[in-house]
């Protein structure tokens, strides 16, 4: 099982301040573990304020009201920029333009280096971005165990949910990719 470029959707019974009703975009899933970013839990910080903290001025008007997200409980002082691939030619070949960029097979790119922030500050950079502080991580077998305990639903990721859906609607929109609504799912978990 490889859940790279999938959403993890928290089951209603998952009671955790960060992961309850969360949608996690899985950036990497290998036998050694998994790494993802929570895409629907805004922090109390807007992008312009984050840029000020790193001595940059955000000149992208389209991002001026965007929140920074709580990406997960690991390295919460570090920024992670989830963005669409940057295409270098008409054949839609993407090439990492920034240092420390992870190209997610079949999906997006995630960059942790300052150069992507500098590009955004100058009015350039990727068109669609989601910036988090921190990330979510699972050790070897941990995510599979949580899936076996019915803590998460999984579905192929959809960029529309990440970049074009209002934050308050992302959980329900992710569930709808499975043909579900939250009222249809029991808060109780069990095993057949």
pLDDT along the chain (192 residues), means of 10: 96 88 97 97 96 95 96 96 77 64 90 94 93 98 95 97 98 95 72 48
pLDDT of residue 188: 60
Tokens representing 54 are 């790193």
pTM to 2 decimals?
0.91
Residue 133: which H helix or E strand, with range?
strand 129-138
Does 75 reside within a domain?
A: yes
Q: What are phi and psi of 153, to 5 degrees?
A: -105, 155
Say how many domains are in the chain.
1
Judge whether 27 and 43 are in contact, CB under 8 Å: no
From first CA to last CA, the distance across the chain in angstroms is 21
Does 108 reside within a domain?
A: yes
Does 172 reside within a domain?
A: yes
Does 189 reside within a domain?
A: no
Those residues whose C-beta lies under 8 Å from the C-beta of residue 121, and which sit 6 or more positions away, are 51, 56, 57, 58, 59, 60
Does 142 reside within a domain?
A: yes
Does 1 reside within a domain?
A: no
Containing structural domain, residue 149: 6-184
CATH code assigned at 157: 3.40.1740.10
Judge whether 161 and 170 are in contact, CB under 8 Å: yes
pLDDT of residue 66: 97
Does 190 reside within a domain?
A: no
């Amino acid at each position: 099982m490889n859940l790279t470029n999938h959403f993890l959707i928290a089951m209603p019974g998952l009671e955790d301040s960060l992961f309850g009703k969360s949608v996690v975009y899985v950036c990497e899933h290998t036998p050694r573990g998994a790494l993802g970013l929570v895409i629907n839990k805004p922090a109390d910080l807007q992008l312009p304020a984050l840029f000020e903290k790193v001595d940059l001025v955000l000149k992208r008007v389209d991002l001026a009201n965007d929140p920074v997200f709580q990406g997960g409980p690991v390295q919460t002082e570090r920024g992670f920029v989830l963005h669409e691939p940057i295409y270098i030619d008409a054949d839609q070949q993407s090439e990492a333009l920034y240092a420390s960029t992870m190209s997610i097979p079949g999906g997006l790119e995630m960059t942790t280096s300052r150069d992507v922030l500098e590009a955004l500050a100058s009015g350039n950079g990727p068109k669609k971005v989601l910036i988090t502080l921190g990330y979510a991580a699972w050790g070897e077998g941990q995510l599979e165990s949580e899936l076996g305990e019915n803590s998460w639903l999984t579905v192929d990721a959809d960029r529309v949910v990440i970049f074009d859906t209002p934050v308050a609607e992302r959980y329900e929109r992710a569930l709808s990719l499975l043909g579900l609504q939250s009222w249809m799912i029991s808060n109780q978990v069990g095993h057949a």
